[in-house]
Amino acid sequence: MAAGGYPPAVVLKTLSAKVLGTAAGVVDRAFVSALEIRNKRERARAVAVPHAERVRLLGEIARAYGRPEHFEQREAFFPTPPAISPRRRLVRALEGRHHADGGVFDLTWPSRYTPWGSGVRDRYLARTRNQTAHARVYLAGPPRPAILLIHGYMGGHWALGELEWPISWFFRRGLDVVIPLLPFHALRGEGGAPPWPGSDPRITNEGFRQAIHDLRGLMAWMVARGAPLVGAMGMSLGGYTTALLATIEEGLGFAAPMIPLASIADFAKEQGRLGDREDAAEQHAALERANWVVSPLARPCLVPAGRVVVIAADRDRVTPRAHAERIGAHFGAPIVTIPGGHLLQIGRGGGFRAVAAMLEREGIIAPRARRRSPPA
């Protein structure tokens, strides 16, 4: 027996968990530092604006975007998008699936998004690659319930997405899988760091508005194809987007924000982007108001509480647990905690199993007596 009366295997497992947990935090901090370096020029321009002027500008944005009707009527700021007719290209067949309509397909369609704010319209639309929407879909053939898997910041590359998500596991559990690309990412980007979310809150607002526009169009296409239900799960920036979608789209079947961002202002404050100590609180409040129109905390969740689960990572240093707690409290949803970090997602299979358990309980997928676990 080892010290404390525990078997050696238990002690080793505990030590390994502690070491890996510490490593997860280190990896997250390194990632945040890399983002700071990558966005140094953009941040310098924002910080160069005097505090009083910055607060004034944020106030103007809050008044422009934060009209009462944007919160009282969902369609006022998030209108229902037009129906889409994606061009479909077969990537490969799915092993063991021979249905004519089954396989892995890449979808493309015009986003047809028009920015709400005239002051950023030309600059926003100048990024022409962003005006084409993309998604990769994994279809069994006959329509089934579907899950949107929404990537995080600087994500959206197909090969990485197939490593990031347990696609085969979800597919075997009875779900068609859809991986949409967020605005300005991967094939929708033009190289370098995506400009959204960025230092200009107007671009942040427009980017989330376009993300919801494109996701709702994709959902409607899946439903028109015959999917009885479409839900969403997203990581980090994708977790924020998932939570926002749950407050806008009443047809969303379930929602699972994972290691989610909950507040742009909170993130900016945590990363030291809001001036010195005396100014930070005022700038934080002003930035929260400027982005409130696209906050997942600004409107009630439209998905029944029993169909929402929020997943947090214990050692997350990018979007700490407090972000998941804000969303969970607002939605009245349970929080499942995995032991790893934001990037080094130790124990992440527990989060995916929690989603499957919720879907089983709600009768969306069939229960399995013997489950094959998703990747750890």
Query: Scanning the structure block, which residue is given the tokens 């100048």?
Result: 126
Instruction: Tell whether the model's pLDDT for residue 28 goes beyond 90.
Output: no
Whole-prediction pTM value? 0.90
Closest CA to 304 of 333, 326, 335, 325: 333
| N residues, the chain | 376
pLDDT tens digits, one per residue of 275-299: 777 789 999 999 999 999 999 999 9
Q: What are phi and psi of 52, to 5 degrees?
A: -60, -40
pLDDT tens digits, one per residue of 328-361: 999 999 999 999 999 888 899 999 999 999 999 9
pLDDT tens digits, one per residue of 120-177: 999 999 999 999 999 999 999 899 999 999 999 999 999 999 999 999 999 999 999 9
Let me know the angle formed at the C-alpha of 243 by 332 and 77, rounded to the nearest 5 degrees.
115
- pLDDT tier at 19 (50, 70, 90 boundaries)? low
Instruction: List the alpha helices (DSSP H) in 226-320.
Output: 237-248, 264-270, 277-290
Closest CA to 102 of 111, 90, 84, 118: 90
Instruction: Tell whether the model's pLDDT for residue 103 goes beyond 90.
Output: yes
pLDDT at 49: 84
Instruction: Tell whether the model's pLDDT for residue 15 goes beyond 60.
Output: no
Which domains does the chain possess?
Answer: 3-361 (3.40.50.1820)
- pLDDT tier at 373 (50, 70, 90 boundaries)? low
State whether residue 243 is helix, strand or coil: helix
Please tell me the distance from the alpha carbon of residue 281 to that of residue 274, in angstroms, as a whole number: 8
Closest CA to 208 of 163, 165, 240: 240
Query: Scanning the structure block, which residue is given the tokens 């005396």?
Result: 278
3-state secondary structure labels for all residues of 172-218: HCCCEEEEECCCCCHHHCCCCCCCCCCCCHHHHHHHHHHHHHHHHHH
Let me know the angle formed at the C-alpha of 17 by 13 and 23, rounded to the nearest 5 degrees.
145
